[in-house]
Structure 1
Amino acid sequence: MSARANELARLVDRFGDVTVRDLAWLLFASDLLREGNDGVALARPCATPAERDATLAWLASLDAAPQALHDHARDPKFTRLGIYAESLLRYFLAHGPAARLIAANVPLRRQRRTIGECDFLLETQSGVRLHWELAVKFYLHIGGDDELGTSHSSREARLADYVGPNLQDRFDLKHARLITHQLALTSRAEFAALGFEGPWQAQLYIKGRLFYHGLKGDGVVPAPQIGDDHLRGWWLTASEWRAARCDAANGARAWVVQPRMAWLASRRLDAAEAQALVAESAGIGARLEAAAAPTMIAAYVRDEAGGWVEESRGFIVPDDWPERARAFAASAAISASAPTV
Structure 2
Amino acid sequence: MPGIDAASRDALLDTLRDAAVRDLAWLLLSADLLRPQPPVGALANPFDTLQEAQATLDWLRALDAAPEPLHHELAATRITRLGRYAERLLGWFLQHGPAARLVAAGVPLRRGGVTLGECDFLVQTRQGTRLHWELAVKCYLHAGDGRAQLSDYVGPNLKDRFDLKLAHVLNHQLPLSAREEFASVGYAGPWTPQMFIKGWLFYRHGETSVDPVELDPAHGRGWWVTRSDWPAFAAAHAEKWRTLPRLEWLAPRRHAPLEVRTAGLAFVDAKTLAGQTLHQHGPAMVGAFVEDSVGNLIERSRGFIVPDEWPELARHYARQ
TM-score by length of 1: 0.86
Structure 1 portions without partners, runs of 5+ = 147-152, 332-341
Sort the Cα spacing of 1:7 and 1:328 in 2 relative to 1 into closer, same or farther, 3 A: farther
Paired amino acid for 2:18:
D
Q: Which amino acid aligns with 2:189?
A: G
Instruction: Tell me the percent identity.
Output: 50
Given candidates 192, 200, 225, the residue that maps to 2:183 is 192
1:266 aligned to which of 252, 268, 275: 252
Measure the CA separation in 2 of the matches of 1:230 and 1:65. Answer: 30
Aligned to 1:285: 274
2:225 maps to which residue? 236
Q: Deviation of residue 71 (structure 1)? A: 1.3
Determine if contact 2:231/2:270 at 8 Å carries over to the other structure: no
Deviations 1:129-150 (A, max 9, x none): 000000100000001xx3xxxx
1:297 aligns with 2:283: no
For residue 207 of structure 1, give the secondary structure of its aligned residue in structure 2.
strand
Question: What one-letter code is carried by the residue in structure 2 that aligns with 1:209?
Answer: W
Q: Is the 8 A contact 1:254 1:277 kept in 2?
A: no
- Contact kept? 1:138, 1:164, Cα under 8 Å: yes
Unaligned runs of 5+ in 2: none
Q: Which amino acid aligns with 2:299?
A: E
Contact persistence 1:140–1:165 (CA under 8 A): yes
- Cα distance in structure 1, aligned partners of 2:236 and 2:221: 22
Residues 271-280 or 281-290, more deviating = 271-280
User: Contact (CA 8 Å) 1:247, 1:285: kept in 2 or not?
Assistant: no
Letter paired with 2:250: L
In the alignment, which residue of structure 1 is the partner of 2:68? 67
The answer to whether the 8 Å contact 1:247/1:283 transfers is no
State the 1:53 CA deviation: 1.1
SS at match of 2:319: helix
Task: Name which of structure 1's ranges 320-329 and 301-310 shifts more when overlaid on structure 2.
Answer: 301-310
Give the distance between the partners of 1:4 and 1:236, measured in 2 at CA. Answer: 31
Change (3 A) 1:72 1:247: farther
Does the CA contact (< 8 Å) of 2:290 and 2:300 recur in 1?
yes
- Structure 1 residues 102 and 10: alpha-carbon distance in aligned structure 2, compared to 1, 3 A threshold: same
Verify: 1:254 aligned to 2:240, yes or no: yes
1:13 touches 1:21 (CA, 8 Å); kept in 2?
A: no
1:195–1:244 Cα change, 3 Å: closer
> Aligned residue for 1:325?
314
Secondary structure of 1:103's counterpart equals: strand
- Aligned equivalents of 2:233, 2:51: Cα separation in 1: 47
Q: Distance in 2 between matches of 1:319 and 1:282?
A: 17
Q: Which amino acid aligns with 1:204?
A: M
Equivalent residue number for residue 81 of structure 2: 80
Would you say 1:183 and 2:174 are equivalent positions? Answer: yes
Q: Quote the Cα distance in structure 2 between the aligned partners of 1:90 and 1:16.
A: 21
| CA drift at 1:11 | 2.3
Amino acid at match of 1:193: S
- Give runs of aligned pairs for residues 1-341 of structure 1, distance below 5 A: 6-37=7-38, 39-143=40-144, 146=145, 153=146, 155=147, 157-214=148-205, 219-246=208-235, 252-271=238-257, 273=260, 277-279=266-268, 282-331=271-320
Superposition deviation, residue 178 in structure 1: 0.2
Question: Contact 1:4–1:229 at 8 Å: present in 2 too?
Answer: no
Counterpart of 2:152, as a letter, is D
* Letter in structure 2 aligned against 1:237: T
Q: CA deviation at 1:56?
A: 1.1
The one-letter amino acid of 2:217's match is D
Secondary structure in 1 aligned to 2:186?
Answer: coil
* Offset, 1:106: 0.5
CA distance in structure 2 between the partners assigned to 1:120 and 1:278 by the alignment: 38
Query: How far apart, in 1, do the equivalents of 2:222 and 2:22 lie?
Result: 19
Structure 1 counterpart of 2:284, one-letter code: T
CA distance in 2, matches of 1:245, 1:54: 41
- Is the 1:253–1:278 Cα contact (8 Å) retained in structure 2? no
Are residues 304 and 111 of structure 1, via their aligned partners in 2, closer, same or farther at CA, if it must alter by over 3 Å? same
SS at match of 1:301: strand
Counterpart CA distance in 1 for 2:41 and 2:246 is: 28
Q: 1:38 deviation in Å?
A: 5.3
In 1, the alpha carbon distance for the partners of 2:6 and 2:305 equals 22
Using the alignment, how far apart are the partners of 2:167 and 2:268 within structure 1?
45
AA partner of residue 220 (structure 2): L
Tell me, in whole angstroms, the C-alpha distance in 2 between the residues paired with 1:4 and 1:327. 38
Q: Is the 8 A contact 2:175 2:193 kept in 1?
A: yes
1:48-92 Cα offsets, whole Å, 9 max, x none, are 110011111111111111111111123452111101100100111
Kept in 1, the 8 Å contact 2:143–2:154? The answer is yes
The RMSD of aligned alpha carbons is 2.2
Aligned residue for 1:132, secondary structure, equals strand
* TM-score, length basis structure 2: 0.92
